[in-house]
């Protein structure tokens, strides 16, 4: 017996069995206690509540939602809001991070100093403080009556008012998709065609693709025009408030700015690291072949730096996606806030938290899956020890 | 023998006069005068830190010289970007660590510069690349990625990549120092073939067998100076300078 216990495999097996057993007991006990407590409070567990009307309103929704709508619809709207906020926040963070990161790798002393100061300041202040700060800044802007229009837009304490096209929702969706295609298609052509064609040809092809996509967008907008209205619905002062146009609520703007600026400071470090990881040897080789500085940057330095950045960037995006839950701090109806309100109103804590976790898991696993695919597709082939 | 002579500046492959290079307070190259005739093969050797790599990196402006004059194929090397790019088009370089582009196949490595810099159409550039891959004896590796090859193969790809620009001068910066012993021979063979075909070559190397076989002139550098230069047979037998004799005894007697 003693000899059997000294066997490494037997010992490992026993330890694992003990661990799994303990874990199973813990889960069982937790479930039983929760059940009994819920029953004692008169709460019926289950997901029936999803089909009841909520009875409360949302302050921000991309799809029509009223107090009569059921919970499952509110959850859908909440996930959409989270994705919407995340898209803008991540996009802004990427732009800011790229600029600051490049500044930090610059040979210019001033640019490096500015980049470093930026990162030092915004990376070291908690996100929630930054959210409150930007929210305070935005809500202290002039009231609609005192705001000065610029390019047809009003920046006011009640939000940013921008002109909106008088176009049906479906054609608007198509137009937005076509505009996205105008950005993605040229990039895709640049990637797949790589150096198969002389540069001139490729640029023509990219321009043509972008133009075609933009034409589609214009066509969709014209086709979906609402009858008997001007093409653009301009915001204008009427009495004490602004009427017309599209209002971007201050909660949303504050969150996008905060996530963009805070996330940008992290992404700047990733960008800097990516560029630093590219050996000088490859750049010297490109230079010695007669490539110009721009060709060396776009064809050698950037592709190699991107490969180094991508895995960490994916991680950062997942992290920032979770940061959208700051919505609750300023009252933006993101998924987390809707779940929190659901708990308040329905008492279905465990179910709602479960759905919250499942929702974020789905969003972030999709994001991770997407990035892993890209990462695999562009990974350098072969044993990298020799670089 | 090959002292500074202004009349040679126009006709020589490389003409260097009064070259000095400082890294901060460190004086890396001191008053270098060197003229390389067209078709001449030069081997540069010397202890580590003697400035031999710095010298050949100055020839295509990977290092900027602090003082003196460098004329390559009749073009003065100065701050003029046009001059620098013009010289780099005609001067190929092979590095100690190969420096292939790891995200491109062997063939893409080879066609990149001809297509972008010389504006050669893709089909022509590929034909050229395959010709030179044949020459360095690895045509079958064209579609592999650099990291899938051995060190010796990578270095031969690097040579082919440089040759695809059809340069008039080739610079080799310790091309075999990062290789396993059994791979050194395959790279040196390619270099010797190139030498026998009349390429102008400046090689920083400690492969004295190669120097005997292929060089027209061997240069010994120490502490940033050219201490001695002579044709190989004289260099290895009757070196004049004490430091040269000491260096040779260290690398030949084992």
User: Tens of pLDDT along A101-142?
Assistant: 999 998 899 999 999 999 999 999 999 999 999 999 998 887
Cα separation, B97 vs A332, in Å, equals 55
Question: Does the pLDDT value for residue A386 go beyond 50?
Answer: no
- The confidence band for A384, taking pLDDT boundaries of 50, 70 and 90, is low
Average pLDDT, chain B: 92
Task: Dihedral sign for Cα B51, B56, B58, B61, please.
Answer: negative
pTM: predicted TM-score of the whole model, two decimal places: 0.80
CB A139 within 8 A of CB A250: yes
Q: Which of B85, B99, B119 sits opposite A282 (nearest CB)?
A: B99
Closest CA to B204 of B182, B188, B222, B219: B219
Report the 10 Å Cβ neighbour count for B41: 27
Question: B80: helix, coil or strand?
Answer: coil
The pLDDT tens digits for B24-83 are 999 999 999 999 999 999 999 999 989 999 999 999 999 999 999 999 999 999 999 899
Question: Does the pLDDT value for residue B5 go beyond 70?
Answer: no
ipTM of the complex: 0.91
Cα separation, B66 vs B24, in Å, equals 11
pLDDT for A192: 61
Question: Does the pLDDT value for residue A153 go beyond 50?
Answer: yes
End-to-end CA distance of chain B: 32
Q: Do A281 and B154 touch (CB under 8 A)?
A: no
The secondary structure element, H or E, covering residue A209 is: helix A199-223
Cα separation, A86 vs A97, in Å, equals 16
Cα separation, B27 vs B158, in Å, equals 31
CB A337 within 8 A of CB A331: yes
The pLDDT tens digits for A354-381 are 999 999 999 999 999 999 988 888 888 7
pLDDT for A369: 92
Phi, psi of A233 (to 5 degrees): -90, 105
pLDDT for B110: 96
Question: Does the pLDDT value for residue A207 go beyond 90?
Answer: no
- The confidence band for B1, taking pLDDT boundaries of 50, 70 and 90, is very low
Q: Which of B148, B158, B162 sits opposite A382 (nearest CB)?
A: B148
B192/chain A closest Cα distance in angstroms: 22
Question: Does the pLDDT value for residue A225 go beyond 80?
Answer: no
- The confidence band for B3, taking pLDDT boundaries of 50, 70 and 90, is very low
Pairing of β A236-238 and β B41-45: unpaired
pLDDT for A201: 64
Q: Do A386 and B147 touch (CB under 8 A)?
A: yes
Q: Enumerate the β-bridge partners of residue B42.
A: B202, B217
pLDDT for A66: 84
End-to-end CA distance of chain A: 53
Closest CA to A342 of A50, A17, A21, A143: A50
- The confidence band for A41, taking pLDDT boundaries of 50, 70 and 90, is confident
Task: Dihedral sign for Cα A183, A188, A189, A191, please.
Answer: positive
Q: Do A292 and B147 touch (CB under 8 A)?
A: no
CB contacts < 8 Å between A and B, how many?
Answer: 97
The domain segmentation of chain A, as residue ranges, is 38-163+250-381, 165-233
pLDDT for A234: 76
pLDDT for A326: 92
Contacts 24+ apart (CB under 8 A), A121-129: A121/A265, A122/A261, A122/A262, A122/A264, A122/A265, A123/A262, A123/A265, A123/A266, A123/A269, A125/A262, A127/A258, A127/A259, A127/A262, A127/A323, A127/A326, A128/A326, A128/A329
Q: Do A290 and B98 touch (CB under 8 A)?
A: no
CB A115 within 8 A of CB A106: yes
Question: Does the pLDDT value for residue A279 go beyond 90?
Answer: no
Q: Which of A197, A198, A303 sits opposite B103 (nearest CB)?
A: A303
Side-chain half-sphere exposure of A153, counting CA atoms within 13 A: 7
> Chain A contact for B62, CB < 8 A?
yes
pLDDT for A203: 74
Q: What is the mean pLDDT of residues B230-234?
A: 94
pLDDT for A200: 54
**Closest B-chain CA to A282:** B99
B103/chain A closest Cα distance in angstroms: 6
pLDDT for B7: 63
Question: Does the pLDDT value for residue B6 go beyond 60?
Answer: no
Answer whether CATH 2.40.270.10 is correct for domain A38-163+250-381: no
Question: Does the pLDDT value for residue A195 go beyond 60?
Answer: no
> Chain A contact for B63, CB < 8 A?
no
Strand order in the sheet with B26-36: B26-36, B14-23, B67-72, B75-76
Pairing of β A241-243 and β A236-238: antiparallel
Cα separation, A300 vs A318, in Å, equals 28
A377/chain B closest Cα distance in angstroms: 11
pLDDT for A56: 86
The pLDDT tens digits for B61-78 are 999 999 999 999 999 999
pLDDT for A103: 94
Tokens of A317: 């995006």
Cα separation, B245 vs B222, in Å, equals 12
Tokens of A282: 């490859």
> Chain A contact for B101, CB < 8 A?
yes
Tokens of B216: 């027209």
> In the block, which residue shows the tokens 């001139």?
A200
Strand order in the sheet with A159-162: A154-156, A159-162, A246-248
Question: A3: helix, coil or strand?
Answer: helix
Relative orientation angle of helices B122-135 and B151-163, to the nearest 10 degrees: 130
> Chain B contact for A200, CB < 8 A?
no
Cβ contacts of A253 within 8 Å, gap of 6 or more: A134, A138, A159, A160
Q: Which of A285, A291, A303 sits opposite B95 (nearest CB)?
A: A285
Closest CA to B101 of B152, B63, B147: B147
B87/chain A closest Cα distance in angstroms: 8
Q: Do B154 and A284 touch (CB under 8 A)?
A: no
**What residues of A are in contact with residue B101 (Cβ under 8 Å)?**
282, 285-286, 300
pLDDT for A161: 83
**What residues of B are in contact with residue A384 (Cβ under 8 Å)?**
102, 147
B157 φψ region: left (φ > 0), alpha (ψ -120 to 50), beta (else): alpha
A100/chain B closest Cα distance in angstroms: 26
The pLDDT tens digits for B168-210 are 999 999 999 999 988 999 999 999 999 999 999 999 999 999 9
Question: Does the pLDDT value for residue B254 go beyond 70?
Answer: no
Side-chain half-sphere exposure of A222, counting CA atoms within 13 A: 6
- The confidence band for B135, taking pLDDT boundaries of 50, 70 and 90, is very high
pLDDT for A275: 94
B120/chain A closest Cα distance in angstroms: 9
């Amino acid at each position: 017996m003693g000899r059997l216990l000294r066997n490494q495999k037997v010992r490992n097996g026993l330890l694992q069995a003990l661990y799994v057993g303990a874990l199973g007991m813990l889960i069982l006990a937790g479930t039983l206690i929760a059940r009994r407590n819920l029953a004692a409070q008169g709460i019926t567990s289950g997901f029936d509540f999803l089909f009841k009307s909520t009875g409360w309103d949302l302050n921000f929704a991309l799809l029509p939602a009223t107090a009569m709508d059921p919970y499952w619809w509110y959850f859908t709207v909440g996930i959409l809001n989270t994705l919407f906020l995340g898209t803008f926040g991540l996009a802004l963070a990427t732009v800011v991070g790229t600029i600051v990161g490049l500044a930090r790798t610059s040979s210019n002393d001033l640019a490096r100093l500015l980049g470093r100061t930026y990162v030092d300041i915004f990376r070291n202040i908690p996100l929630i403080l930054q959210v409150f700060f930007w929210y305070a800044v935005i809500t202290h802007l002039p009231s609609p009556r005192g705001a000065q229009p610029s390019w047809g837009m009003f920046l006011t304490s009640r939000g940013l008012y921008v002109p909106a096209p008088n176009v049906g929702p479906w054609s608007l969706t198509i137009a937005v998709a076509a505009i996205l295609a105008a950005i993605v298609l040229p990039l895709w052509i640049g990637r797949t065609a790589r150096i198969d064609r002389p540069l001139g040809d490729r640029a023509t092809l990219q321009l043509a693709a972008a133009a075609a996509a933009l034409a589609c967008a214009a066509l969709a907008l014209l086709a979906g025009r609402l009858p008997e209205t001007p093409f653009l619905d301009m915001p204008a002062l009427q009495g004490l408030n602004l009427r017309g146009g599209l209002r971007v609520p201050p909660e949303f703007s504050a969150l996008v700015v905060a996530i963009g600026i805070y996330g940008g400071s992290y992404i700047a470090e990733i960008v800097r690291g990516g560029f630093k990881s590219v050996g000088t040897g490859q750049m010297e080789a490109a230079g010695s072949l007669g490539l110009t500085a721009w060709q060396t940057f776009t064809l050698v330095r950037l592709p190699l730096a991107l490969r180094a950045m991508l895995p960490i960037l994916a991680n950062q995006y997942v992290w920032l996606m979770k940061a959208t839950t700051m919505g609750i701090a300023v009252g933006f109806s993101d998924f987390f806030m809707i779940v929190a309100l659901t708990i308040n109103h329905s008492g279905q804590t465990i179910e709602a938290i479960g759905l919250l976790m499942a929702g974020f898991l789905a969003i972030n696993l999709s994001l991770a899956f997407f990035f892993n695919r890209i990462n695999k597709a562009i990974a350098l082939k072969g044993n990298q020890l020799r670089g | 023998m090959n002292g500074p002579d202004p009349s040679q500046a126009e006709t020589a492959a490389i003409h260097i006069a009064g070259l000095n290079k400082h890294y901060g307070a460190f004086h890396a190259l001191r008053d270098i005068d060197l003229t390389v005739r067209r078709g001449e093969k030069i081997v540069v050797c010397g202890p580590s830190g003697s400035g031999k790599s710095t010298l050949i990196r100055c020839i295509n402006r990977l290092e900027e010289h602090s003082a003196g004059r460098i004329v390559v194929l009749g073009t003065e090397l100065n701050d003029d970007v046009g001059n620098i790019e013009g010289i780099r088009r005609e001067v190929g370089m092979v590095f100690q660590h190969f420096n292939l582009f790891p995200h491109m196949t062997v063939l893409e490595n080879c066609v990149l510069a001809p297509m972008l810099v010389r504006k050669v159409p893709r089909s022509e550039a590929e034909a050229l690349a395959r010709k030179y891959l044949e020459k360095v004896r690895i045509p079958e590796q064209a579609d592999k990625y650099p990291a899938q090859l051995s060190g010796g193969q990578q270095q031969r790809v690097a040579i082919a990549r440089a040759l695809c620009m059809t340069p008039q001068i080739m610079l080799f910066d310790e091309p075999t120092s990062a290789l396993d012993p059994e791979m050194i021979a395959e790279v040196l063979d390619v270099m010797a073939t190139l030498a026998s075909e009349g390429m102008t070559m400046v090689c920083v190397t400690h492969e004295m067998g190669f120097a005997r076989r292929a060089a027209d002139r061997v240069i010994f550098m120490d502490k940033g100076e050219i201490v001695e230069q002579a044709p190989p047979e004289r260099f290895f037998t009757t070196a004049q300078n004490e430091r040269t004799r000491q260096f040779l005894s260290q690398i030949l007697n084992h």
